[in-house]
Amino acid sequence: NAGVTQTPKFQVLKTGQSMTLQCAQDMNHEYMSWYRQDPGMGLRLIHYSVGAGITDQGEVPNGYNVSRSTTEDFPLRLLSAAPSQTSVYFCASSYSSKSSGATDTQYFGPGTRLTVL
Amino acid sequence: DAKTTQPTSMDCAEGRAANLPCNHSTISGNEYVYWYRQIHSQGPQYIIHGLKNNETNEMASLIITEDRKSSTLILPHATLRDTAVYYCIVRVALWTGGYQKVTFGTGTKLQVIP
């Protein structure tokens, strides 16, 4: 299994440009999430999805859109990039079993380092 | 989810045990304690989790106090590759509800010294 993959690894944008960060997982996980991490700070949740066709907002959703058309893919769209969106973006997926004792260990991708000029 | 408190940074000599504390005094009876770590520039990595019993796996041990208000992650023989930021998180058991948003604080930066 490749686990959670993210592309691109690095990206530089100009203010106002749009782009899509790709995230894919091959573990058949229902739950997927996007986080951003700014220097010296913890991870902040942007958007998450509990299954194909279902998404919801996290702590810092403004300026980002998501969709979940398949179980495997969860792209993050920046509508009009701003310097404040310069950050490292991590995608994560986790299992969703309701069985007693099941855990929802999150698996993270390697991250996308985005710079907005 | 209950809030956690961790020291900002710690040092540990290579080969010695690293003991990372975490306070979670408002933890509820159905909340688990999870530990993740983030090696520089990489995505966070799951280490271990527990409810009330002590747990051990190939990476670490987790000691949870009897009142569950604090826990300690133990790396038995720290190596330079264990230098990372360690996050302590408490979360409701998965089967009690739907998706649980994970809140990562700033964690403890562990520096393993040669």
Q: What is the 3-state secondary structure (H, E, C) of B71-97?
A: EEEEECCCCHHHCEEEEEEEEECHHHC
pLDDT of residue B74: 98
Answer whether A89's CB lies under 8 Å from A60's CB: no
Distance (Å) from the alpha carbon of B114 to chain A's nearest alpha carbon = 24
pLDDT of residue B24: 93
Distance (Å) from the alpha carbon of B21 to chain A's nearest alpha carbon = 18
Tokens of B96: 């009690």
Average pLDDT estimate for A51-63: 92
Answer whether A75's CB lies under 8 Å from A21's CB: yes
Main-chain phi, psi angles of A50, to 5 degrees: -100, 5
Beta-carbon count within 10 A of B92 CB: 15
- Asked whether the beta carbons of residue B99 and residue A111 sit closer than 8 angstroms, the reply is no
pLDDT of residue B96: 52
Highest average pLDDT, of A37-51, B24-38, B71-85, comes from B71-85
At A96, the pLDDT band (50, 70, 90 cuts) reads low
Q: Answer whether residue A103 shows pLDDT above 70.
A: no
